[in-house]
Amino acid sequence: MNRFLNAVRFLTIFPVQRWGFPTSEQMGESMVFFPFVGAILGLILVGIGWLLSPIFPAGVIAAVLVGLLIAMTGGLHWDGVADTFDGLGGAKGDKERMLTIMKDSRIGSLGVLSLSFMIVFKVGLLAELPAAYWKGALILMPMTGRFVQLEMAVWGRYARKDGGTGRAFVEGAKPGDFWLALVGVGIISLLALGWAGVGIVALNLLYGYGVMAFFNRKIGGITGDILGMASETSEILALILVYFFK
């Protein structure tokens, strides 16, 4: 139960109480529940979307739901999106410079542009999605994004020598956590969108592996910012794939 509560506390703004502050090892162990916290967030979005559907057009509902997801997570992964793209654009192939840029709390022009594009793109994808696929897509989107984080943390290596927020997750997540979560994610995906849902998850796992391999070559591993970026881009990929599988 503590592992689940740690995952909820880290991934959301929900006021979850538990005794003591989790250790780095416990935070890494909580990653097994990341996809399922994502599925819960998706269910909340489904409920809000259902309430709003008789009142507002699809475009407005899509904007509200994307904004709500950002609010429920405290914009946790969006900082990683901005930092990662700032680092990629400003490092000019220099590993240490990229890590330094990513660690800087200031947001550059590429970071702002990437955030803006991804939010608009996500809203657009949801708005144009046929109503029959909304429920399944809303559950699958945040669940898959957080499952990709688990995948990369389990099979990846941490890039920073001086440590950072992501280190606890990358070093604490274990292969058994991935395989256990895979079973649950597979079942939920099947219930949400049938075999298309399973296919979407599988392709997102391939994407996660590709991101991990790219940054292994680029900077020698992954960071917390890269995990956040991968999660958000994986959500967009999941929505895009719904169009191909529908």
Higher pLDDT, 51 or 108: 51
* Cα–Cα dist 78/101, whole Å: 16
Could you tell me the CA-to-CA distances from 5 to 18, 24, 115, 136, 166 in Å, in that order? Answer: 7, 14, 29, 25, 18
Residue that the structure tokens 């709390």 belong to: 105
Higher pLDDT, 108 or 165: 108
Confidence of residue 6 (pLDDT cuts 50, 70, 90): confident
> What pLDDT, on the 0 to 100 scale, is given for residue 245?
85
* Cα–Cα dist 88/205, whole Å: 22
Higher pLDDT, 130 or 184: 184
> What pLDDT, on the 0 to 100 scale, is given for residue 21?
63
> What pLDDT, on the 0 to 100 scale, is given for residue 150?
95
What's phi and psi for 222, nearest 5 deg?
-125, 165
* Cα–Cα dist 205/215, whole Å: 16
Q: Is the pLDDT of residue 19 over 70?
A: no
Mean pLDDT of the chain: 90
Contact 178, 28 (CB under 8 A): no
> What pLDDT, on the 0 to 100 scale, is given for residue 100?
82
> What pLDDT, on the 0 to 100 scale, is given for residue 103?
82
Q: How far is CA 18 from the centre of its chain?
A: 24
Single-letter residue type at 161: K
Q: Is the pLDDT of residue 91 over 90?
A: no
pTM: 0.92
Q: Is the pLDDT of residue 174 over 60?
A: yes
Q: Is the pLDDT of residue 68 over 90?
A: yes
> What pLDDT, on the 0 to 100 scale, is given for residue 64?
97
* Cα–Cα dist 134/154, whole Å: 30
Contact 110, 90 (CB under 8 A): yes
* Cα–Cα dist 241/246, whole Å: 8
Query: Of the ranges 26-35, 138-147, 190-199, which one carries the lowest mean pLDDT score?
Result: 26-35
Q: Is the pLDDT of residue 163 over 90?
A: no
Higher pLDDT, 22 or 169: 169
| Cβ neighbours around 125 below 10 Å, total | 20
Q: How far is CA 180 from the centre of its chain?
A: 18
> What pLDDT, on the 0 to 100 scale, is given for residue 99?
84
| DSSP category for residue 161 | T
Q: What average pLDDT score do residues 199-210 get?
A: 97
pLDDT-above-90 percentage for the chain: 62
Domain spans in the chain, listed from the N-terminal domain onward: 31-245
Nearest to 150 by CA among 11, 1, 5, 46: 11
Q: Is the pLDDT of residue 22 over 80?
A: no
> What pLDDT, on the 0 to 100 scale, is given for residue 18?
59
